[in-house]
Amino acid sequence: MSGEREREIEEQELVRREDTFLALSNAYAFVRGQEQIRALENLTFGAMFRVRVAEIEGPLTGGMLCRLEELAKTKGDFDLAIARLREEENANGE
């Protein structure tokens, strides 16, 4: 009997903790959601467009590459890797 009572107490404690977590999670989601709504209300299509163009064309802060620079770097790295593979193939083929 004692084991059943302990199990019931543990289950009740687990339910209480889950309820507490759910309440905190819902409150946090509500607050964050309201922040996001306010942020979106202040954005215009033009502002969002300018942000996206800046991501593509640059310049970006923090030493990050804009998308065009990132694409150029990736292409350069790829071309270099292909050139190295061709050199190895030519060296091994002769």
In a domain, residue 93? The reply is no
Token pair in block for residue 19: 């309820």
Range of the domain at 26: 1-42
Q: What is the pLDDT of residue 38?
A: 86
The predicted-structure confidence for 64-75, as pLDDT tens digits, reads as follows 888 999 999 999
In a domain, residue 19? The reply is yes
In a domain, residue 9? The reply is yes
Check the CA dihedral 16-19-21-23 and report its sign. negative
Check whether 93 has a pLDDT greater than 80.
no
- Number of folded domains in the chain? 1
**Selection from 88, 65, 31 nearest residue 57 by Cα:** 65
In a domain, residue 33? The reply is yes
- Phi/psi of residue 47, each to 5°? -65, -45
Q: How far apart are CA 63 and CA 93, in angstroms?
A: 42
The predicted-structure confidence for 31-88, as pLDDT tens digits, reads as follows 999 998 888 887 888 888 888 888 888 877 777 888 999 999 999 999 999 999 999 9
Q: What is the pLDDT of residue 94?
A: 62
